[in-house]
A = this chain, B = another copy of it.
Amino acid sequence: MPTTPGGTPLRAATISLPRPPTHDSRQAPFIRSHPDSPSRTRGIRNGTPQRERKPAECSHRNGAAMVTAGVPRTRARPEELWPAGVDDGFAAWFTDRAAATSCQVTRVPLDRLRGWSFDPATGDLKHDSGRFFVIEGLHIRSTYGAVDEWYQPVINQPEIGILGMLVKMVDGVPHCLIQAKAEPGNSRMLQLSPTVQATRSNYTRVHRGARTRYLEYFVNPGTGRVLVDVLQSEQGSWFLRKRNRNMVVLVGDDVPASDQHRWVALHELRRLLRVDGLVNMDARTVLSCLPPTFFPGSRGEPLDEDVAGALIRSVRGWGPVRHDDRSVLSWFTRSKCRHELTAERVPLRGLPGWRYRPQEIVREDGRHFSVVGVDVRMDNREVTRWNQPLLYPHGRGVVAFLVKRIDDVAHLLVQARFQAGLIDAMEMGPTVQCVPQSQPGPLPPFVDQVLTAPPQRVLFDALLAEEGGRFYHTENRYMVVEAGDDVPSEEPEGFRWVTVHQLSMLLRHGYYLNVEARSLLACIHALW
């Protein structure tokens, strides 16, 4: 096995090895992890071996677990806490940030959320300012998938936020200004986020709190060079037509990091993607949109001579593609036309198939997700105490790309994926994107090939969180798996083998790749 510059085998040094089935909640991704369930009430410790955990920091109450700030949770020896080659300075900074971050999240009944109320006419759950977001009902009819009609709550957040990363060059090496940020829904409280992560209500200060740091570099880039500026969707199963502005701005050498921020080399950030629950969704989607020319060459840590070479050719756009760009676009258009999907907004009150309890709005069969409320106390934020509802997905999803060498170029298998809340109903998703335990009917294609792949074909495997500002304790298992010989180069109609470069080119435009695919595409850059 090739080794890292430090001489340690790469796989052994990461904490994202394929997981054998055990009863540990981290290693059993398909066990529902509810805060009231036994696995949670035991109190999961993130493990901060370097220092004592302060009990006052980052707790979840109301029968839920106490959870420490986001230092990677593991029972491994301290030297295995971070992937090989991670800068000691970074590790120390993050541990300090965890110590300095105080936050407390308590579940509260939905009808007692301060600043929020149910609309008398519709039952929609709204903020008193009329801003931020609304939880309302959605009625979906579709010829796609196993269920042709259903109702669900959905987050309607029409305003466009900014997910912005500042980058600078230091001796020819790109660095990113990341932030250690806590969000109320995070199960590992502290995560790495982009430089700026703010809804329009935040940055226009509807909450009357402090101003958002570094915002001016994105609103008025001035001397900075805009490398990425594109609207991208977010979870189409939970949001109604939500999109955020993904930005990367290249600045000079004169932008200092605040207490909560740190300049990190891009190659180090790519490596940190392998750490469970560390790099947040917003950072992942922004990274995925970086032009491939911006990534420096191989870090000298090829996975395996053939795979690494094939991956680099895929990223760089070298070598043949299975389908040229025009064919890929034509397939995408054709796929959009194959099915019809209508999503109609309806009142949240009386949604067929859903139960309304003080603590939650939940499906009668307990599937998919519920709506819960939290009271949040947090320092280092524009506002230090607030209430809000969150969506609480039940069960852990699998988000996976199958990758295959075709003519010596790595190709990823993307899927034409309908989701009710997407702007145009369909985007390209990863090969597998599902919550196996919530799946109505048989498992979707390729789930088996992903979950039963032998360890040597699992190139990436980490539990990564979805946006903690809207989702409660939501981690999915992100995987990149080399396809076996049982997966041919000929695809079913709903799938296409494409290169990383082809996807990167599409990411100059909005609404081609869904957030799950973008998240996972960022992780591809952890592999070369």
Contacts and interface: CB of A to CB of B under 8 A. Distances in A.
A229 B160 contact: no
B226 A336 contact: no
B423 A226 contact: no
Given A326-B226, A345-B345, A509-B509, A424 B334 contact: no
Given A345-B345, A424-B231, A158 B340 contact: yes
A330 B226 contact: yes
A337 interface: yes
A141 to B, nearest CB: 10
Given A330-B226, A509-B509, A336 B424 contact: no
A245 interface: yes
Contact of A337 (B227, B245, B510): B245
Interface in A481-519: 508-511
A342 B160 CA distance: 12
Q: Which residue among A340, A344, A345, A510 has the maximum number of chain B CB atoms within 10 Å of its CB?
A: A510
A215 interface: no
A333 B423 CA distance: 15
A337 B160 contact: yes
B423 A230 contact: no
Interface residues on chain A, size class: 20 to 34
Contact of A230 (B243, B329, B345): B329
A342 B226 contact: no
Interface in A71-107: none
Interface in A305-363: 326-327, 329-330, 333-334, 336-337, 340, 342, 344-345
Contacts of A243: 424
B330 A229 contact: yes
Contact of A424 (B226, B423, B508): B423
A496 to B, nearest CB: 14
Contacts of A128: none
A36 interface: no
A225 B345 CA distance: 40
Contacts of A158: 340, 342
Given A158-B342, A159-B340, A423-B424, A334 B229 contact: yes
Contacts of A200: 337, 340
A424 to B, nearest CB: 6
Given A330-B226, A508-B329, A509-B509, A160 B423 contact: no
Nearest to A506: B509
Contacts of A509: 329, 509
Contact of A336 (B160, B227, B333): B160
A333 B229 contact: yes
Interface in A227-274: 227, 229-231, 243, 245
Contacts of A336: 160, 231
A227 B333 CA distance: 13
Contacts of A345: 344-345
Nearest to A160: B337
A206 to B, nearest CB: 13
A158 to B, nearest CB: 5
A422 to B, nearest CB: 10
Given A423-B423, A423-B424, A424-B423, A230 B333 contact: yes
A510 B330 CA distance: 12
A245 B160 contact: no
Interface string A8-23: 0000000000000000
Contacts of A344: 345
Give the interface centre of A200, A340, A345, A424 by most chain B CB atoms within 10 Å: A424
A424 B243 CA distance: 10
Contacts of A508: 326, 329
Interface of A: 158-160, 200, 226-227, 229-231, 243, 245, 326-327, 329-330, 333-334, 336-337, 340, 342, 344-345, 423-424, 508-511
The 3 closest A-B pairs by CB, nearest first: A229-B330, A229-B333, A226-B330
29 contacts: A158-B340, A158-B342, A159-B340, A160-B336, A160-B337, A200-B340, A226-B326, A226-B330, A227-B326, A229-B326, A229-B330, A229-B333, A229-B334, A230-B329, A230-B333, A231-B336, A231-B424, A243-B424, A245-B333, A245-B337, A329-B508, A329-B509, A333-B510, A344-B345, A345-B345, A423-B423, A423-B424, A509-B509, A511-B511
Given A158-B342, A229-B326, A509-B509, 20 more contacts: A158-B340, A159-B340, A160-B337, A200-B340, A226-B326, A226-B327, A226-B330, A229-B333, A229-B334, A230-B329, A231-B337, A243-B424, A245-B333, A326-B508, A329-B509, A333-B510, A344-B345, A423-B424, A424-B510, A424-B511
